[in-house]
């Protein structure tokens, strides 16, 4: 018996999903594809698979004989594909039983589930899959029917969800789609992509790409295609004239679909150009996305303004802001140094920043970042009694600074500003600069034997370490690298600079080249500044042969990587290393091409370091920067907030929970109330219990444990 208009009456056990689907057949061909042979319509205008249910013998089901002669179960439709375009789409499934007499009957009992629910969810009772409309994926649909006195019967089918979106940047319209009906290959007229860099690796939560290219004239239309196996995001952009920037910021919804779908696949990128008489296909390049997110804020120095800026992540994207006001104007010294805060460092909990004032021309101080950048000591004049340093580094709990001046290393209590003499052992004197305290608190790395123009500018140096043997106690210095040992590398030179530790204290990264800075004043009017190359390296704290981070260091002309600093978190099996470079970012209209401006870049460094193999990845430009500025000296730190038990004045200062009195009546950060929502990945926290399932609170940020 074949189904007809009376099917709903004949099959009262099919349930609400089937009845709703049957009712939808009256919606008309504009929204449903209905067929008299089908028990229900297909998944709507966004479903690409017709549903043909194999009714060979259908009759009302009496649950008393449901299991009599039942041999197997199957799922219909089999292996469907659902296309989503940013809206919720339903795909109903049905289970059918095959009986010993050859009949195939619908079954409404049993339970439905998915192997992976990334692209949507399935109703366990009705078998209706609901796509979120946000990502693409392939998953398995499972149906299980328990049987009394026998093993359960099971069936599985694949479900493919494709995400497809097109975006039209004004004045582009849907009519521009037709200009790319036929494309040709012509490298001389093709658009040249300038950003992203080919094979760059980015974290999942990076801001949407600003794709930048060159080549074209007013009236040209560009088709920007970003694809994965189950995602296609396309932007159409029209060249509007002299002010055209040759770029397209990928729509946030489309970008999210790209980074959260097909997690093991790279994103394929092309920029096609439609000009007079032809559409020219652009060359392909790829972008990789790590299975992990980066959390926290980045503090960096705006070289021209002489002040510290911060980039922090919000739901709407990166936010750039000034951390604190410049100090009072100096009466003497170069004009550009008279209101300067520089050579900063951030504590590992993100609560403190130490910096020098007036670019080394006066005292140094410590700032309380959780209180909005209030200085612990902010001298009103450059003659105030305060210790002075050039570079410094906090210990693990922020109770000590290891700092340097011209005469070597010394300890500072950041709470009081007092210089602390070592309780045991000595700290190196002389040409010892740029100290870096390991996250496990056991070792201090520093630049030794620096000779040149001063503590920031030198042409010869090495890398050494000091063991921390106890509270304010130190062992003997051991040299790990000499600059001369790397002089035959492509960048040349004998200067080692800026050591930084991986968050697990297993490795030290450093800069090497002919000079510790990226340039210096030249000798002639035609060459006012000399530019120096530099490359990054990785070495263990016990020494050995340094590993060159070539992918991170090299641009299309030379090695150009300076002042590295690691993120305090390990995510996606990667260390994340921040540094500045004068390499071109993008094109000349939207980026920095041809200017040589210093900008901050990030490279992923694999935690599986293999001797002789480069563990770094092609970098990405740090979103949120001003491309008109020179940005250097970036430090990645947790968002500044106060953990549980720390003193506070208002609840917004607390990482999680509220500001309220403790047992002694003092205002401190308390746990959140029981009814509060858990914190998601990347959000601030005070303890593991504040974070959603599967996340842990590391340095006041909810993170997914490695692996």
542/31: higher pLDDT: 542
Q: Which CATH architecture has domain 170-289?
A: Sandwich (2.60)
Q: Percentage of the chain surpassing pLDDT 90?
A: 59
385 pLDDT band, cuts 50/70/90, is low
Report, as an integer, the average pLDDT of 410-428: 92
Both tokens assigned to 456 = 């920031």
> Which one, of 44, 38, 253, lies nearest residue 130 by Cα?
44
Residues in the chain: 707
Annotated domain spans of the chain: 7-161, 170-289, 311-637, 651-703
57/639: higher pLDDT: 639
DSSP string covering 416-473: T--EE--SBS---BSS-EEEEE-TTSSEEEEEEEEEESSSS-EEEEEEEEEEEEETTE
What 182-189 contacts at long range (C-beta under 8 Å, 24+ apart), as own/partner pairs, is 182/279, 183/272, 183/279, 183/280, 183/281, 184/278, 184/279, 184/280, 184/281, 185/280, 185/281, 186/278, 186/280, 187/283, 189/215, 189/273, 189/275, 189/278, 189/280
CATH number among 2.120.10.30, 3.40.980.10, 3.30.70.100, 3.40.50.1370, domain 311-637: 2.120.10.30
Kindly report, residue by residue over 299-316, the tens digit of the pLDDT: 999 988 878 899 987 767
Which pLDDT value is given to residue 40?
31
Which pLDDT value is given to residue 30?
32
Which range among 21-25, 139-143, 306-310, 339-343 has the greatest average pLDDT?
139-143
370/694: higher pLDDT: 694
Topology agreement, domain 170-289 and domain 311-637:
no
Cα distances from 525 to residues 304, 520, 522, 528, 550, in angstroms, run 21, 13, 8, 5, 34
Which range among 86-90, 412-416, 469-473 has the greatest average pLDDT?
469-473
pTM over 0.85, yes/no = no
359 pLDDT band, cuts 50/70/90, is low
Which pLDDT value is given to residue 110?
96
Residues 347/353, Cβ–Cβ less than 8 Å: yes
Place of tokens 């002639």: 524
The yes-or-no verdict on residue 19 having pLDDT over 50 is no
Kindly report, residue by residue over 502-522, the tens digit of the pLDDT: 999 999 999 999 999 998 876
Side-chain half-sphere of 264: how many Cα atoms within 13 Å?
1
DSSP state of 197: P
């Amino acid at each position: 018996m074949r189904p007809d208009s009376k099917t709903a009456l004949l099959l009262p056990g099919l349930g609400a999903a089937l009845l709703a689907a049957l009712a939808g057949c009256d919606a008309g061909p504009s929204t449903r594809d209905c067929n008299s042979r089908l028990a229900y319509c297909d998944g709507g205008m966004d479903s690409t698979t017709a549903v043909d249910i194999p009714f060979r013998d259908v009759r009302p089901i009496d649950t008393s004989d449901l299991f009599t002669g039942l041999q197997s179960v199957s799922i219909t439709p089999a292996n469907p594909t659902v296309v989503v375009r940013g809206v919720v789409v339903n795909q109903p499934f049905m289970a059918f039983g095959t009986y010993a007499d050859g009949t195939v009957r619908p079954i409404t009992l049993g339970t439905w589930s998915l192997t992976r629910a990334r692209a949507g969810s399935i109703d366990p009772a009705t078998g209706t899959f609901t796509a979120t409309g946000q990502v693409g994926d392939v998953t398995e649909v499972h149906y299980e029917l328990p049987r009394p006195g026998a093993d359960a019967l099971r069936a599985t089918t694949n479900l493919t969800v494709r995400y497809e979106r097109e975006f039209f940047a004004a004045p582009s319209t849907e009519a521009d789609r037709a200009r790319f009906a036929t494309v040709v290959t012509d490298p001389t007229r093709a658009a040249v992509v300038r950003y992203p860099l080919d094979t760059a690796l980015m974290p999942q939560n990076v801001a949407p790409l600003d794709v930048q290219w060159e080549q074209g004239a007013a009236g040209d239309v560009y088709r920007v295609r970003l694809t994965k196996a189950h995602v296609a995001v396309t932007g159409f952009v029209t060249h509007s004239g002299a002010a055209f920037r040759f770029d397209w910021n990928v729509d946030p919804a489309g970008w999210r679909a790209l980074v959260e779908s097909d997690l093991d696949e790279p994103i394929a990128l092309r920029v096609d150009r439609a000009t007079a008489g032809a559409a020219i296909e652009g060359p392909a390049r790829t972008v990789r996305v790590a299975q992990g997110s980066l959390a926290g804020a980045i503090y960096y120095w705006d070289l021209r303004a002489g002040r510290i800026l911060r980039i922090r992540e919000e739901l709407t994207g990166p936010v750039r802001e000034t951390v604190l006001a410049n100090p009072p104007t100096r009466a003497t010294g170069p004009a550009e140094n008279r209101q300067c805060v520089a050579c900063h460092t951030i504590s590992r909990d993100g609560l403190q920043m130490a910096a020098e004032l007036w670019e080394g021309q006066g005292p140094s101080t410590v700032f309380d970042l959780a209180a909005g950048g209030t200085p612990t000591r902010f001298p009103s004049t450059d003659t105030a009694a305060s210790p002075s340093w050039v570079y410094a580094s906090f210990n693990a709990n922020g109770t000590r600074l290891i700092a340097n001046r011209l005469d070597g290393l010394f300890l500072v209590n950041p709470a009081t500003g007092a210089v602390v003499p070592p309780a045991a052992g000595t700290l190196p004197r002389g040409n010892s600069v740029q100290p870096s305290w390991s996250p496990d608190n056991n070792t201090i790395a520093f630049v030794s034997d620096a000779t040149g123009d001063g503590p920031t500018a030198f042409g010869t140096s090495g890398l050494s370490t000091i063991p921390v043997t106890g509270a304010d106690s130190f062992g003997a210095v051991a040299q790990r690298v000499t600059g001369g040992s790397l002089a035959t590398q492509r960048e040349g030179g004998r200067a080692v600079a800026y050591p930084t530790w991986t968050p697990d204290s297993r490795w030290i990264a450093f800069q090497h080249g002919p000079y510790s800075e990226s340039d210096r004043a030249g000798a002639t009017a035609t060459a006012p500044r000399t530019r120096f190359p530099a490359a990054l390296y990785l070495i263990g704290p016990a020494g050995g042969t340094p590993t060159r981070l070539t992918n991170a260091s090299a641009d299309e002309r030379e090695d150009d990587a300076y002042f590295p600093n690691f993120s305090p978190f390990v995510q996606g099996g990667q260390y994340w290393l921040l540094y500045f470079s004068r390499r071109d970012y993008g094109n000349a209209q939207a980026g920095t091409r041809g200017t040589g401006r210093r900008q901050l870049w990030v490279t992923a460094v694999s935690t599986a370091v293999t001797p002789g193999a480069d563990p770094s990845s092609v970098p990405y430009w740090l979103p949120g920067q001003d491309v008109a500025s020179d940005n250097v000296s970036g430090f990645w730190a947790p968002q500044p907030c106060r953990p549980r038990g720390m003193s506070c004045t208002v609840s917004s200062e607390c990482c999680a929970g509220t500001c309220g009195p403790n047992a002694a009546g003092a205002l401190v950060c308390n746990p959140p109330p029981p009814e509060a929502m858990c914190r998601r990945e990347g959000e601030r926290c005070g303890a593991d219990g504040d974070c959603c399932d599967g996340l842990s609170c590391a340095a006041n940020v909810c993170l997914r444990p490695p692996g």
